[in-house]
Chain A
Amino acid sequence: MGKTLFEKIWDEHVVVEKANSPSLIYVDRHLVHEVTSPQAFDGLRMNNRTVRRPDLTIATMDHNVPTKDRGLPILDQTSAIQIQTLEKNCKDFGIQLFDINSPNQGIVHVIGPQLGITLPGTTIVCGDSHTSTHGAFGALAFGIGTSEVEHVLASQTIWMDKPKSFEIRVEGKRKNPHAVTAKDIIMAIIKNIGTAGGSGTIVEYSGQGVSDLSMEERMTICNMSIEGGARAGLVEPDEKTFDYLRNRKYTPKNYESLVEYWRENLKTDSDAKFDKTFTLRIDNIAPQVSWGTNPSMTCDVTESVPFPEDYSKGDQNQKKSAERALEYMDLKSGTPITEIKIDRVFIGSCTNARIEDLIEASKVIKGQKVAKNVLAMVVPGSQMVKKEAEELGIDKIFIDANFEWREAGCSMCLGMNPDILSPGERCASTSNRNFEGRQGVGGRTHLVSPVMAAAAALEGHFVDVRKLDWD
């Protein structure tokens, strides 16, 4: 029987294998950031251990960094300490760090591909659940805990039970790919499979609906795999993949010979069997808006806030959870989504802060103004994205529309820096999690695509972006 892409990558990385035990898997790329690494470096020190392969390890600071006034000291002392700790750890252990002043600084999942560090067929780990993003390049990329970060630093390997395989086929063609985006596809998938639908599996996204997507759109899809419960999601690499990574700063010198190998080998065999499958047809899907406190609590922009009994389909626990979510979100069942007013707009995060996201959103707002009473901000995913946007004049479009234009970082996706919602504030956000308090204690998050966020910023409430007249 044939093998899936995931199984091929897995098999190529097994160092030690034994029946009924986890396998020891080699890690090709280890990405490190300031929040989940300090305790791991401490562990190394306590045991007099070194980093086995500093040349396969790359660090940046993204979660805590302020997104304005980079010239000033960081006011939050605990954030400052965490950032200084990463600087010291990288220096002590010989790890390349893109620090707050580096032109390469940015969200770790945005800079990996931009710098050509992310490569097809590799294993990539990071102490961050959105490491799944790199799967867009046909890499086996997944988030790990801090103890595992320490283990990888020390040994460049990780013990892992082999996950099951899950094929998610995306079939058909969107009628308006500018209005119905990759974000809407992945949110529609999670709405269907649920937040635990992918638990214990590695997802492979396939079908025309995926191969039609650009690399950045594929990253948006793979990014949210973890929101459907899967530790990793990947896409078979193709010419778009190889073109994207060619001539990046850290693209390997023998890149073309690697491409030849990848072209031949990084494919799911036609007779391979997946443990699980799901198919989504996208011909008629609408822009998605989340209404609740987990990403599966999502509906079409044309729908109304659901009644818990309809959402739960008879499951009492789901019903209770929907009731609680509606209370937290201060929403009434039956309210049309387009009547929900917002206070804030956040365009950013490892899900949706790449250059294409910013270009698409800027087209919606060009020549218009953010609604009164709405505070809107754009936080580019990396300094490289920011620079590129500025070269294209996109920053001006946002600034002229009264958006704030910030420095790169995770920012209000999780609010570890000063960018947070106040209690009760409602935000249209291009990020990935609408959990209670995620963007600030008492804050209310609605997940949407960048164009939906841009349109909501102009109108002060959600609108069906398909109805707007824009290029």
Chain B
Amino acid sequence: MLESWTGINMEKFKKIKTIVTPLDQINVDTDQIIPKQFLKLVQKSGFGKYLFYNWRYDENENQKQDFVLNDNKYQNSKILVSGENFGCGSSREHAVWALQDYGFSVIIAPSFGDIFYSNCFKNGILPIQLEERMVEKLKHESGELEVDLENQFLKTNTEQIPFDINSYKKRILLEGLDDISQTLQLHDKISEFEKHSKIPSVL
């Protein structure tokens, strides 16, 4: 079905290798990832500076030294490792836009909020679900971690860790596909469905 895709609106996901940023918390909700005061913007860009805003800055907008993103060591990290149920709560895609604009392209956690998980794939971010034991280990990984989506593994200095991903979603990221153009090619099937729908229009 994917063969005929034409539209391309995302960058293709490439192999990356950086150190990991450990965010040692469970249930990180999207209200924390991007607080509501920044949801009023009407564009998709520029959300990175507001990422984890209330955790990064105090009431005088000074950096909180104990927050991991404020540690210079992690400046160039593209991989965030966190606890279970990452991205739970609000459906705001702004959370993904903020992570991406800040520079993250991989999020590793034992589990994710359902809506957040779908939102990632629409924006070229790879969410990787791993066993909790493995996630704990990665949080303490001091060297660089290589993420190879094509071959579905992570590689530290000492080990190679395979991960699972739905083949359809994998292809979306690797090829940077725009699913709307794909769907619009199914126009006839959608029209056919509409002919038989029992549900009337609203108006």
Interface residues of A (CB under 8 A from B): 15-16, 18, 20-22, 24, 26, 28-29, 35-36, 38-39, 42-43, 47, 49, 52-53, 55-58, 63-64, 76, 78-79, 81-82, 85, 96, 117, 119, 121-122, 127-129, 143-148, 150-151, 154-157, 159, 161, 163, 195-196, 199-200, 226-227, 229-231, 250, 252-254, 258, 261, 294, 317-318, 320-321, 324, 414-416, 423, 433, 435-438, 441-442
Contact = CB atoms under 8 A, between A and B. Distances in A.
A82 B40 contact: yes
A145 B25 contact: no
Contact of B25 (A146, A226, A324): A324
Nearest to B116: A145
B29 A435 contact: yes
B54 interface: yes
B139 to A, nearest CB: 11
Given A258-B198, A435-B89, 4 more contacts: A36-B93, A39-B44, A64-B40, A163-B114
Interface string B161-203: 0000011100000000001110110100110011001111111
A258 B89 CA distance: 34
A320 B25 CA distance: 8
Contact of B85 (A15, A147, A195, A442): A195
B177 to A, nearest CB: 11
Contact of A436 (B31, B42, B167): B31
Q: Which 7 pairs between the two chains have the least Cβ-Cβ distance?
A: A147-B122, A38-B42, A145-B119, A145-B93, A55-B201, A78-B40, A143-B91
B95 to A, nearest CB: 9
Given A47-B180, A146-B93, A154-B180, A15 B41 contact: no
Nearest to A40: B93
29 contacts: A38-B43, A49-B184, A52-B190, A55-B203, A81-B40, A82-B42, A143-B115, A145-B91, A145-B96, A157-B190, A159-B183, A163-B114, A195-B85, A196-B84, A196-B88, A196-B111, A196-B113, A226-B89, A229-B85, A229-B113, A250-B203, A294-B29, A294-B88, A321-B26, A414-B90, A436-B32, A437-B35, A437-B54, A438-B36
B83 interface: yes
Contacts of A144: 91, 115, 118
Contacts of B92: 35-36, 145
Nearest to B112: A199
A250 B42 contact: no
B141 to A, nearest CB: 18
B123 interface: yes
Contacts of A441: 35, 54, 59
Contacts, number: 200
Given A96-B202, A156-B190, A129 B180 contact: no
A219 B203 CA distance: 24
A423 B190 contact: no
B114 A15 contact: no
Contacts of B201: 53, 55-56
A437 B31 contact: yes
B197 A28 contact: yes
B40 A154 contact: no
A251 to B, nearest CB: 10
A440 to B, nearest CB: 9
A336 B5 CA distance: 60
Nearest to B123: A147
Interface in B58-115: 59, 83-85, 88-94, 96, 111-115
